[in-house]
Amino acid sequence: MAFDKTEVEKVAQLARLHISDAEKDEVTGRITDILALIDQMQSVDTDAVAPLAHPLDMTQRLREDDVTESNRRDELQQLAPEVEEGLYLVPKVIE
């Protein structure tokens, strides 16, 4: 599977990253090399193998549906770049 500059643009958009024109060639080349490393997996037949998503053979624990978190909005919003009256501010979305 060829990974070209068009793919870089598409993936960067999905990941919400900006790749400048100057960087595009290098990024394409590096990712192509990484994909070549990854593609070594394709040499093994795994048709009969079940995927392993997680190393522990365990089931998710359940807990009572109780409120365990306190309201720390003001404290947490101190970390935000821009807030107003308890709301997070972002650039205008609706005209």
Partner 1 sequence: MIEKTVAELSGALSRGDISSVELTQAYLDRINQYNSTLNAFVTVCEESALTQAAQADAARADGLTSPLLGIPLAHKDIFCTSGIKTSCGSKMLHNFIAPYDATVVSRFNDAGAVMLGKTNMDEFAMGSSNETSYFGPVKNPWDTDRVPGGSSGGSAAAIAADLCAMATGTDTGGSIRQPAAFCGITGLKPSYGRISRWGMIAFASSLDQAGPICKSAEDAALMLNAMAGLDTKDSTCADVPVEDYTADLNNSLQGLRIGIPRQHFAEGLSPEVEQAVREALGVYEKLGAQLIDIDLPNNHLSVSAYYVVAPAEASANLSRFDGVRYGYRCDNPLDLEDMYKRSRSEGFGDEVKRRIMVGTYALSAGFYDAYYRKAQKIRRLIKQDFNAAFQQVDIIIGPTSPHTAFTLGAKTDPVAMYLEDIYTIAVNLAGLPGMSVPAGLANGLPVGMHLVASDFAESRLLNVAHQFQLNTDWHRLRATAFEEGH
Q: Are 88 and 80 in contact (CB under 8 A)?
A: yes
Q: Which H helix or E strand runs over 84?
A: strand 83-84
Question: Residue 38 burial (CB < 10 Å; 0-12/13-18/19+)?
Answer: exposed
Q: Is 24 among the residues that bind partner 1 (CB under 8 A)?
A: no
Helix intervals (H) in 15-92 = 21-38, 73-77
CB of 54 to partner 1, least distance (A): 5
Provide the minimum distance between the beta carbon of 76 and partner 1 in the complex, in angstroms, as a whole number. Answer: 6
Under 8 Å CB-to-CB from 12, ≥6 apart: which residues?
Answer: 18, 19
Residue 21 CB, nearest approach to partner 1 (Å): 13
Query: By rule CB under 8 A, what string of x and - marks binding of each residue 28-67 to partner 1?
Result: --xx-xxxxxxxxxx-x-x--xxxxxxxx-x-xx-x----
Q: One-letter amino acid identity for 56?
A: L
- 2, 14, 22, 67: which one binds partner 1 (CB under 8 A): 14
**What residues make contact with partner 1 under the rule CB under 8 A?**
1, 3, 7-8, 10-12, 14-19, 27, 30-31, 33-42, 44, 46, 49-56, 58, 60-61, 63, 72, 75-76, 78-82, 88, 90-93
